[in-house]
Amino acid sequence: MLGLQLAGVDVSFPGLAAPALAIDSLSVTAGSRVALTGASGSGKSTLISILTGLERAGQGRVLWGGVDICALSEGGRDRWRGANIGLVLQDFHLFPGLSALENVLLPARLSGAMTRDVGARAEHLLLRVGLARPTQMIETMSRGEMQRVAIARALLRKPGVVIADEPTASLDSDAGDAVGDLLLELSTESGCTLIVATHELALSRRMDRRIRLAAGRIVEDGVIEERAA
């Protein structure tokens, strides 16, 4: 479980006058569930790139549980991300030609974090997300099933944070609901912080807190009182 302290972050892209992201300060309590909303181009994706360390903020500090990931080298950020962040993306980014189980295990294998426990946990997670056949090839699965494999993969190494970028946007509503349920349930079960970028109201309403971005700035930040049952 990791908390976030973000200070003085400023991201600009060459050729653009306005910064893509300008956040003076933002803190997220460890274990909380945060929805990130905003129109396309509002800076959601940039913020997620910064939070996951995929991109380095030009200015400012991004502290996850006391570690400033802006100070890490590129390889160091890869390692840190692999160990601490579970990532779920809109397009799944699963690898065809591999089974569901192999897909779940691939990042751990590539970063040399493979143990027997990790293997057992992968099978358990696949069952938990409702997939009974771990050896099924990924390309034979439905989109809803693929996103569930992606969730199992995100949780494999017991990350402190799960970050999902539009996890339901490419799914039909039933599959999307199931994925939303799983994200909330599993992050609660494993006690990790959950940050979900989404513009689906139904999903964002189920979170503890909603942050709305516009033109790279936080324009709304509030605790949600009313929760969907």
Partner 1 sequence: MIGFILADLRRLWAGSLVVVLLVALATALGVAVTLQERALRLGSARAADKFDLVIGAPGSETQLVLSSIFLQPSPLPLMEGTVLPRLLADPRVASAAPVGFGDSFGGYAVVGTSTGLVGELEQLAEGRVFAALGEAVAGAAVDLPIGYAVKPTHGFAELGGHAHTELAYRIVGRLKPTDTAWDRAILVPMQAVWALHGMAAAEHQDADGHDDHPHDETAPGAEVDHPHIDADAVLDEDWSKATPGLPAILVKPKSIADAYKLRQDYRSNMTLAVFPGEVLTNLYATLGDAKRVLVGVTTGAQVLVAAAILLVTILHVGQRRRQIGALRAFGAPRTAVLVIVWSELFALTAAGVLIGFALGFGAAKLIAGYLSGESGVAMPVMFTAGDGFLVSAILAFAACLAMLPAVLAYRQSPAAALRA
Binding to partner 1 by residue 121, rule CB under 8 A?
A: no
Q: Which of residues 29-58 bind partner 1 (CB under 8 A)?
A: 45, 49, 52, 54-55
The two tokens of residue 140 are 């034979």
Region of 59-67, 73-81, 120-128, 211-219 interacting with partner 1 (CB under 8 A):
73-81
Binding to partner 1 by residue 143, rule CB under 8 A?
A: no
Which ranges in the chain belong to alpha helices (H)?
A: 44-52, 74-84, 100-110, 116-128, 143-155, 173-190, 201-204
Binding to partner 1 by residue 111, rule CB under 8 A?
A: yes
Residue 128 in contact with residue 152, Cβ under 8 Å? yes
Residue 190 to residue 123: CA distance in whole angstroms: 16
Nearer to partner 1, 26 or 83 (CB): 83
DSSP state string for 88-124: EETT----TTSBHHHHHHHHHHHTT---HHHHHHHHH
The two tokens of residue 122 are 């992968």
Region of 14-22, 90-98, 184-192, 219-227 interacting with partner 1 (CB under 8 A):
90-98
Binding to partner 1 by residue 212, rule CB under 8 A?
A: no
- Going 14 to 74 to 99 to 143, the CA torsion angle's sign is negative
Region of 97-105, 124-132, 176-184, 200-208 interacting with partner 1 (CB under 8 A):
97-105
* Minimum CB distance to partner 1, residue 76 (Å): 10
The residues of the shown chain that bind partner 1, judged by CB under 8 A, are 45, 49, 52, 54-55, 74-75, 78-79, 81-83, 85, 87, 89, 91, 93, 95-98, 102, 106-111, 153, 157
